[in-house]
Amino acid sequence: MPEASERVRSLVASMTLDEKLAQIVGYWADQKGESVAPLQNANAPATDLDGAMMNGLGHLTRVYGTVPLDPDDAARQLWERQRRLVTSTRLGIPALVHEECLTGLSAWQATTYPAPPSWGAAFSPELVERMGAQIGATMSALGIHQGLAPVLDVVRDPRWGRTEECIGEDPYLVGLTATSYVRGLQSAGVDATLKHFLGYSGSTSGRNFGPVSAGPREIADVFAVPFEMAVKDGKVASVMNAYTEIDGVPVVESEEFLTGLLRDEWGFDGVVVADYYAVAFATSLHRTSRTLADAAAQALRAGIDIELPTGDAYLQPLREALASGELDESYVDRAVTRALIQKERHGLLDATFDEEPPQGVEMDGPESRALARELAERSVVLVSNAGALPLAPEATLAVVGPNADLRSALFGCYSFANHVLSQHRDVPFGFEAPTVLESVRESHPATVTWARGCDVDTDDASGFAEAVALAEAADAVVAVVGDKSGLFGRGTSGEGCDADSLELPGVQRPFVEALLATGTPVVLVVLSGRPYVLDWAIDRCAAVVQSFFPGEEGGRAIAGVLTGAVNPSGKLPLTLPRSSGNQPCTYLHGPLGEDTEVTSVSSVPVAEFGHGLSYTEFSCGAVSVPGSVVAGDDLTVSVEVANSGTRGGAEVVQLYARDLQAQVTRPVAQLLGFARVELEPGESRLIEFTVPAARLAYSGRDMTRMLEPGDVELWVGTSRRRLSETTTTLTGPVWHLPDSAERITSTRISAAVASQAG
């Protein structure tokens, strides 16, 4: 914990117990309608806002993001509440305001950016950082201090509904991208919050809240890596616990993780907030606490500083735990001190809110839309193409499918559109979001017809005939299928919308097969929150395009790829599995995860992590690396990449390794670094990767991070496909990552022009 100022220490010493407890809880004033948090209606606030604010208040929960309020009106309400806290409580300390911001600020009229798997598909951390800064600027202008993002869960089983909130299946890609978002958001003065610490995405069978049975090595070398990067490299200000339990211990009660690993080992000095109702869930769901008082005591002792979104456990129940002697008040003082240090850093100990509230804040300005468009364009993945794309300008098109003309299909479950406006269907989005159909009609000069054909999630096939008739009359078909994002069973993807199959939901596959039967070339566009089984489509469709909820400019980005205005450069952040039963399916597995003679089931994916096609051709030369490197030293790898095609484009140059000798099983492929390079026809660049030893290190048998001498294979390509490869030998004694290491250093990239077109 950073050193508390004399002012903070004096404040804590002067507080009554009621005033202390008030500073470590939130209040959610405007909960209405269907749940947007787990069991929300079973955990309604026990008091009204006036009662909650009597002794002060730690957090105001989702002032802008709970119901569709005009931002000017919401700001006026917020300022009034803050003034009341300043003028009507003894200490006069305003509340800290937090909001969701996973795909942009989750508020009415605010820009909705692509969902996190699209961040991963873009392989563009610098662009994600710019997006984070833009989101943070809007939030700061509205008086918001903390954002509940990014999500750093490493996908292990895409049946999990919250896959759409995750960046990908590789810890380094997740960590580097999320850390960039943290830097961007915090550069604007808004605290980022890492979600969900720790192991949440390892839940059994991909079921939300499912128990996690991961061993300590998987926790350390997979799940923890992105969080460690964001803490050490990103200096993140806040962390949120995971709902799940690991080996029978709920994370919300785990002192091992919340204090031992996070603070003592990594040096985190910010504030840990509870995921919504997580403290109470220790009693009602995990059954590891007898009462709310017991749950409050265990959570506070473990390291949960702030209970969100309300004070179900940290008010009266925590008071009972203190009175009974179950908990020492020093734990309360520790949490209050951390909360006040955060408020002091945001200037809240001196704020009066005498000034007028912000009015006319630009919620979806040109710069934001341009960022959303650029990220969406970079994220579209061309999975396969039998020459059908780009579409011929003169080709008549039948654009069909349930997601072709549906705005909500562009957004994930934490977008305001699907999180809140789905309960307020009479309220417009408040910003422009052209659908794929509208965007194709906007950009394609020939005739474009349209039919829905079927729904995402029902078995109604009555619309097949209309779509098939249009397909028979067209030169090409664009079939737009995928997911309906929602919450708690109200969608096919999203929080609480887990899947037991990775076949396209509803009757979408039979629908596409009916289109294929016409003989008209079919371009399949998948708008989804998870990867689906598409082997049948890749074999038979003229092209397959994958997009992971690409945001408000996503329709135009997809249309740009279809028409050729955009040269696709996205790469898969998630493996496309061979079958629904082929789970878990991730490239990050050991040798026995490969096809072997001891099993009859193939694990070869339809499309591997890192795969993505372009409308031009790229080639790479020999991978250059020293023949030997002392274990623990940086590893320098270089390769020349050229655009050998006929149009300009971007290639994501990916460097992988395989450690051939180790104390424990190591992955058959591990991403060491990547470089996104724009090249004109005939142009080439020499890419140099400087890989720190920490990128290759792993947890040995004694669970210390280490690296042994021996041979290491290196290649440029994708996780499975090797375009150019070589081997180096690590020499010297076994190297251990020093305990004093302050950071996990990212791979450094340099890209020098080797030759220029013309």
pLDDT band at 599 (very low <50, low <70, confident <90, very high): confident
Cα(536)–Cα(601) distance, rounded to whole angstroms?
18
Closest among 78, 39, 42 to 57, alpha carbons compared: 78
The total number of residues written for the chain in this structure:
758
Nearest to 638 by CA among 673, 678, 611, 588: 673
pLDDT of residue 1: 64
Q: Which residues contact 304 (CB under 8 A, 6 or more apart)?
A: 241, 252, 258, 272, 273, 274, 278, 279, 335
Looking at residue 43, its pLDDT comes to 60
Please give the pLDDT value at position 598: 85
What's the pLDDT at 694? 87
For residue 271 the two structure tokens come to 């504030």
Residue with tokens 């021996």, as numbered in its chain: 710
Question: Picking from 95-109, 194-208, 437-451, which range would have the lowest pLDDT averaged per residue?
Answer: 194-208
pLDDT band at residue 51 using 50, 70 and 90 as cut-offs:
confident
Residue indicated by tokens 């991909």: 206
Q: Across 554-648, where does the E strand assignment appear?
A: 618-620, 628-630, 635-643
Structure-token pair, residue 307: 């209970």
Structure tokens, 483: 């997911």
Residue by residue, DSSP assigns 61-90 as: E-TTTSS---HHHHHHHHHHHHHHHHHHSS
Q: What is the pLDDT of residue 757?
A: 45
pLDDT in tens, 200-254: 999 988 899 899 999 999 999 999 999 999 999 999 999 999 999 999 999 999 9
DSSP annotation string for 252-315: GG-HIIIIIIIIIIT---SEEEPPTTHHHHHHHTS---SSHHHHHHHHHHHT--BB-SS-TTTT
Q: What span, in angstroms and rounded, lies between the C-alpha atoms of 727 and 712?
A: 6
Q: 15-26, pLDDT tens digit by residue? A: 999 999 999 999
pLDDT tens by residue, 548-580: 999 999 999 999 999 999 999 999 999 999 887
**Other Cβ atoms closer than 10 A to 249:** 16
Q: What is the token pair recorded at 752?
A: 């020098």
Q: Of 193, 179, 186, whose CA–CA distance to 232 is shortest? A: 179
Q: 716 forms bridges with which residues in the sheet?
A: 655, 724
The confidence score (pLDDT) of residue 746 equals 77
Which CATH homologous superfamily contains domain 618-755?
Immunoglobulins (2.60.40.10)
Give the whole-angstrom CA distance, residue 714 versus residue 287.
48
Give the span between the Cα atoms of 492 and 593, in whole angstroms: 28
CA distances (Å), origin 380, targets 468, 528, 546: 27, 12, 6
Q: What was the pLDDT predicted at 756?
A: 44
CA distance 438 to 448: 10
- Rounded to whole angstroms, the Cα distance separating 655 from 672 reads 6
Could you tell me the sign of the dihedral formed by the alpha carbons of 714, 574, 650, 396, in that order?
positive
pLDDT tens per residue across span 635-653: 999 999 999 999 999 999 9
Mean pLDDT across 338-348: 98
Query: Where is pLDDT greater, at 260 or 44?
Result: 260
Rounded CA separation 103/101 (Å): 6
Q: What is the pLDDT, as a whole number, of residue 322?
A: 96
* pLDDT at residue 365 greater than cutoff 60: yes
Does 380-584 match 11-345 at the fold level?
Answer: no
The DSSP code for 226 is H
Average pLDDT over residues 137-141: 98
DSSP string, 685-751: EEEEEEE-HHHH-EE-TTS-EEE-SEEEEEEEESSS-EEEEEEEEEESS-EE--TT----PPPEEEE
With H, G, I as helix, E, B as strand and everything else as coil, classify residue 540.
helix
3-state helix, strand and coil shares in percent for the chain, rounded to the nearest 5: 30, 20, 50
Task: Give the residue from 200, 124, 220, 197 showing the smallest Cα distance to 156.
Answer: 200
CB 116 within 8 A of CB 164: yes
Question: Residue 689: phi, psi to the nearest 5?
Answer: -105, 125
Q: Which helix (H) or strand (E) holds 383?
A: strand 381-385
Phi, psi of 639, deg, nearest 5: -155, 140
pLDDT of 665 over the 90 cut = yes
For residues 661-669, average pLDDT: 93
Outline where 474-553 has alpha helix (H).
Answer: 508-516, 535-540
Q: Which fold has domain 11-345?
A: TIM Barrel (3.20.20)
Strands (DSSP E) along 486-634, which ranges? Answer: 522-527, 543-547, 618-620, 628-630
The full set of domain ranges for the chain reads 11-345, 380-584, 618-755
CA 38/CA 417 separation, integer angstroms: 18
Question: What are phi and psi for residue 205, nearest 5 degrees?
Answer: 60, 20
The dotted CATH code for 380-584 is 3.40.50.1700
- Tell me the pTM: 0.96
CA 578 to CA 524: how far, in whole Å?
Answer: 17
With a cut of 70, say whether residue 494 has pLDDT above it: yes
With 60 as the cut, is the pLDDT of residue 544 above it? yes
| pLDDT attached to residue 758 | 39
Residues forming a β-bridge with 246: 212, 249
**The two three-digit tokens of residue 435, written as one number:** 């659908």
Give percent above pLDDT 90 in the chain: 87
Q: Average pLDDT for residues 336-347, to the nearest whole number?
A: 98
- Are 117 and 529 spatial neighbours (Cβ–Cβ below 8 Å)? yes
Question: In angstroms, rounded to a whole number, what is the distance separating the alpha carbons of residues 520 and 184?
Answer: 46
What is the DSSP annotation of 33-55? SS-SSTTGGGG--SS-HHHHTBT
Q: Residue 256 carries which side chain, given as an amino acid letter?
A: E
- Reply yes or no: is the peptide bond before residue 198 cis, omega within 30 of 0: yes
Average pLDDT, the chain: 93
* Residue 701: both structure tokens together: 């048998």
Under 8 Å between Cβ of 363 and 65:
no
Furthest C-alpha separation in the chain: 81
